[in-house]
Structure 1
Amino acid sequence: MKNTILIADDDANVLSSLQFLLEEEGYQVIPCQNQKQIAIEQARHSVDLIISDMNFTLDTTSGTEGLQLVEHLHQQEPQLPIIVMTGWATIDLAVASLKIGANDFIQKPWSDERLLTSIKTQLDRSSAERRANKYQQQNRLLMRENHPVNSGSIVAHSPVMKQLLNTLADLAKSNMNILLTGDNGTGKSMLAQHIHDLSQRHDAPFVSVNMGAISENLFESEMFGHVKGAFTDAKESRIGRFEMAESGTLFLDELANIPLSQQAKLLRVLEEHQFEAVGSSKTRQCDVRIISATNADLNSLIEQQLFRQDLYYRLNTIELRVPSLVERQADILPLADYFLDCFSKKYHRAKPALSSDAEAQLLHYHWPGNIRELSHLLERALFLSRHDIIEPDQLHLPAKNFGNRKPLANRELLTNKEPLDNQEANNPTNSFNGYNQHLTSEELTLEQIEQQVLKDRLNAHHGNVTETARSLGLSRSGYYRRINKYELE
Structure 2
Amino acid sequence: MKHSIVIADDDTHVIAALKLLLRSEGYDIQAVTSPQGLLDAIKQREFSLALIDMNYQQDTTSGFEGLALIKAVKAVDNSLPVVVMTGYAGVDIAVQAMLQGADDFVQKPWDNDRLLRVLLTQIRLAESEKKGGQLIEQNNLLMQEVSSANSAIIAESAEMSLVMSQLEKLAASDMNILLTGDNGTGKSMLAEHVHAYSSRNQCAFIAVNMGAISESLFETEMFGHVKGAFTDAKSTRIGRFELAQSGTLFLDEIGNIPLSQQGKLLRVLESHSFEKVGSSKTQQANVRIISATNAPLDELITEGRFRQDLLYRLNTVEIRVPALKERVADIMPLAHYFLIKFGKKYHLESLGFDEKATAALMSYHWPGNIRELSHMVERAIFLRQAELISIEDLGLADHVSSNTACQFDFESATLDEIEKHIISQRLHKHDHKPQETSTSLGLSRSSYYRRLEKYHFKVV
The worse-fitting range, judged by mean Cα deviation, of 288-297 and 73-82 is 73-82
The answer on whether the counterparts of 1:247 and 1:287 sit within 8 Å (CA) in structure 2 is yes
Cα offset, 1:485, TM superposition: 5.5
Shift of 1:103: 3.3
* Stretch moving more, 186-195 or 96-105: 96-105
When residues 367 and 46 of structure 1 are mapped into structure 2, their CA distance, relative to the original with a 3 A threshold, is same
> Contact 2:385–2:393 at 8 Å: present in 1 too?
no
- Displacement of 1:346 in angstroms is 1.0
CA distance in 1 between partners of 2:441 and 2:104 (Å) = 73
Residues 96 and 310 of structure 1: CA distance in aligned 2, closer, same or farther (over 3 Å) = closer
2:370 match: 371
1:22-421 to structure 2, matched below 5 A, reads 22=22, 25-34=26-35, 37-56=37-56, 66=66, 70=70, 73=73, 77-88=77-88, 101-143=101-143, 145-146=145-146, 150-397=149-396, 399=398, 404-406=402-404
Q: Distance in 2 between matches of 1:331 and 1:407?
A: 27
Corresponding residue SS for 1:145: helix
Q: Distance in 1 between matches of 2:76 and 2:397?
A: 58
| Identity rate, percent | 49
Alpha carbons of structure 1 residues 22 and 254: separation in structure 2 relative to 1, 3 Å? same
Distance (Å, rounded) in 2 between the aligned partners of 1:323 and 1:10: 65
Distance 1:93 1:230, change over 3 A: closer
CA contact (8 A) 1:82 1:102 kept: yes
Q: How far is 1:87 from its partner?
A: 3.2
Residues 1:113 and 1:402: Cα distance change in structure 2 (over 3 Å): farther
Structure-2 separation of matches of 1:481 and 1:206: 37
TM superposition shift of 1:228: 2.0
Q: Classify 1:362/1:17 alpha carbon distance in 2 versus 1 (closer, same or farther; 3 Å).
A: same
Cα distance, 1:188 vs. partner?
A: 0.4
Tell me if the contact between 1:253 and 1:292 (Cα under 8 Å) persists in the aligned partners.
Answer: yes
Contact 1:360 1:408 in 2 (8 A): no
Cα deviation, residue 280, structure 1: 1.6
In the TM superposition, what whole-angstrom CA distance separates every residue of 1:280-322 from its partner, at most 9, and x where no partner exists?
Answer: 2211111100111111222222222222222212211111111
* Residue 429, structure 1, aligned to residue 417, structure 2: yes
1:153 deviates by 2.0
Distance in 2 of aligned mates of 1:121 and 1:428:
87
Q: Offset of 1:18 from its aligned partner?
A: 2.7
* TM-score, with structure 1 as normaliser: 0.79
8 Å contact kept, 1:180–1:188: yes
Cα pair 2:251 2:291 within 8 Å, conserved: yes
Change (3 A) 1:428 1:244: farther
Report the counterpart of residue 412 of structure 1 in structure 2. none
Is contact 2:90–2:107 with CA below 8 Å preserved after alignment?
Answer: no
Q: How big is the shift at 1:9?
A: 2.8
* Letter in structure 2 aligned against 1:453: Q
SS at match of 1:310: helix
**Cα separation, 2, equivalents of 1:485 and 1:131:** 56
Query: Tell me, what secondary structure is at the counterpart of 2:267?
Result: helix
Q: Distance in 2 between matches of 1:20 and 1:70?
A: 25
> 3-state DSSP class of the match of 1:312?
helix
**Aligned residues of 1:193 and 1:206 also touching (Cα < 8 A):** yes
Q: 1:272 Cα shift? A: 1.6
> How far did 1:227 drift?
1.6
- The structure-2 alpha-carbon separation of the partners of 1:102 and 1:330, relative to structure 1 and needing over 3 Å to count, comes to same
Note the alpha carbon deviations across 1:123-180, whole angstroms, 9 max, x for none. Answer: 2332232122112112213535335x73332111111112211221111111011111
Q: How far 1:94 moved relative to its partner? A: 5.6
Pick closer, same or farther for the CA change 1:256–1:483 going to 2, 3 Å: farther
Match of 2:448 in 1: none
The Cα of 1:98 is off from its aligned counterpart by: 5.1
Displacement after TM superposition at 1:32 (Å): 3.8
Q: Which runs of 5+ in 2 are unaligned?
A: 446-460
Q: Which amino acid aligns with 2:128?
A: A
For residues 485 and 150 of structure 1, the distance between their equivalents in structure 2, rounded to whole angstroms, comes to 37
Could you tell me how far 1:348 is from its partner in structure 2? Answer: 1.7
Query: Which residue type is aligned with residue 405 of structure 1?
Result: N
Cα-to-partner distance string for 1:229-261 (whole Å, 9 max, x where unaligned): 222322222121111100000111111111222
User: Cα gap change, 1:32/1:215 in structure 2, threshold over 3 Å: closer, same or farther?
Assistant: farther
Residues 352 and 382, structure 1, Cα contact 8 Å, conserved in 2: no
- Paired amino acid for 1:27: D
Question: By how many angstroms is 1:377 displaced?
Answer: 0.8
Whether the aligned pair in 2 keeps the contact of 1:364 and 1:408 (CA below 8 Å) is no
Does the 8 A contact of 1:142 with 1:208 survive in 2? no
Task: Letter of the 1:104 partner, please give it.
Answer: D
Tell me the distance in 2 between the aligned counterparts of 1:260 and 1:352: 51
Q: Distance in 1 between matches of 2:436 and 2:227?
A: 49
Question: Measured at CA, do residues 214 and 362 of structure 1 come closer, stay the same or move farther in structure 2, by a change above 3 Å?
Answer: same
Aligned counterparts of 2:306 and 2:335: Cα–Cα separation in 1: 37
AA in 2 matched with 1:261: S
- For residue 224 of structure 1, report the CA deviation from its aligned partner: 1.3
* Match for residue 425 of structure 2 among 453, 463, 481: 453
Q: What is the CA deviation profile of residues 9-28 of structure 1, one whole-angstrom value per residue up to 9, with x for unaligned ones?
A: 34343234334544564514
Could you report, residue by residue, the CA deviation over 1:8-63 in whole angstroms, capped at 9, with x for unpaired residues?
334343234334544564514141434x5544544454443111224457875675
Change (3 A) 1:347 1:179: same
Describe the shift of the 1:340–1:8 C-alpha distance in structure 2 as closer, same or farther (beyond 3 A): same
What residue number does 1:8 align with? 8
Q: Are the structure 2 counterparts of residues 272 and 70 from structure 1 closer, same or farther at C-alpha, using a change threshold of 3 Å?
A: closer
Describe the shift of the 1:271–1:124 C-alpha distance in structure 2 as closer, same or farther (beyond 3 A).
Answer: same
Q: Give the conservation status (yes or no) of the 8 Å contact 1:150–1:189.
A: no
State the one-letter code of the partner of 1:338.
Answer: Y
User: What amino acid sits opposite 1:247 in the alignment?
Assistant: S
Q: CA deviation at 1:385?
A: 1.4
Q: Which amino acid aligns with 1:146?
A: V
